[in-house]
Amino acid sequence: MWGKINLYKESNMSSQQAVSRLRRLLKIKKIGHSGTLDPMATGVLNCFVSQATKFIDLLPEGEKIYRADFILGKTSDTLDIWGELISHSFIPPSEAEVVEKLGTFLGPSLQTPPMYSALKHKGKALYKYAREGVEIPRKKREIHISNLELLGFDGEEGSIRIHCSRGTYIRTLIDDFGQLLGTGALMSGLVREKNDWARIEDCYTLQDIEGLIAQKDWGFLQSVDRNVDLVSIDIPINIYDDLLTGKTKTILKGQGEGRVLLYYKDLFVGTAFWKEDELQREKLIQVEHDT
């Protein structure tokens, strides 16, 4: 059993805890994920089961879409409502002013990652340093926000939808927005609605998956080559066996150069590179076949 799963991560669990529960349900140890979500956040978490973990980098990097709630007049050490709160007096801005300030974040910009994050410094997560009261200098990272929509605002609390690049911290965005507005602001809720190729409406909860497993229904597993826009070729059994047994090159007339998807009897079996009419092995999976 292998493939990718669009998992709906629920609140009050880390991404790693969600994956651990998935391991117990599937009785498979080798499961990975991409795009870590904060414990209090919910939404799309891309998971890869067994041999599919080899191909995490194969999937196209798409935009992220988040729906976030914010509160003005408050800040915290974690930049969200679950940290140590500090209240600030402020004059409620108009909705027009909020929209105007949000608009300044559109396009490319540089963002400083928060201390309370899973990024590592010398092999140790930044949030662990933060809990010890240690501040680690962080380099600004380039992000891109393609769309930012105000969904609602009552003078103190509101919600926004953000279309952004990988590596964007929504907590930091809201904190920066609060500073620009002059009121202070923190994140009070976060839902990831889209993560690269996966959308929230296509996700399964852990409870969904448990029920489907009980029915022996494996429809929640997708083939890892889905959503990948690369040239695909069918290879004969002798080429597949050559590659599988360690021959890194085998002569086969190519269709150009570059990375390709390999199929044996319409079943995805891995990736390779064409180069000067040679098929060079990259990553393969082992499938049963007739000898």
Q: 221-246 b/e with 16+ CB inside 10 Å = b? A: bbebbeebeeeebebeeebbebbbee
Residue 118 neighbours by CB under 8 Å, 6+ apart: 36, 125, 126, 127
* CA separation for the pair 23, 283 (Å, rounded): 23
Chain centre to alpha carbon of residue 7:
11
CB 70 within 8 A of CB 188: yes
CB 266 within 8 A of CB 287: no
Environment class of 142 (CB within 10 Å of its CB; exposed 0-12, middle 13-18, buried 19+): exposed
Helix or strand run (H / E) with residue 177: helix 170-181
* Closest CA relative to residue 169, chosen from 36, 279, 271: 36
Q: Which residues are catalytic?
A: 38
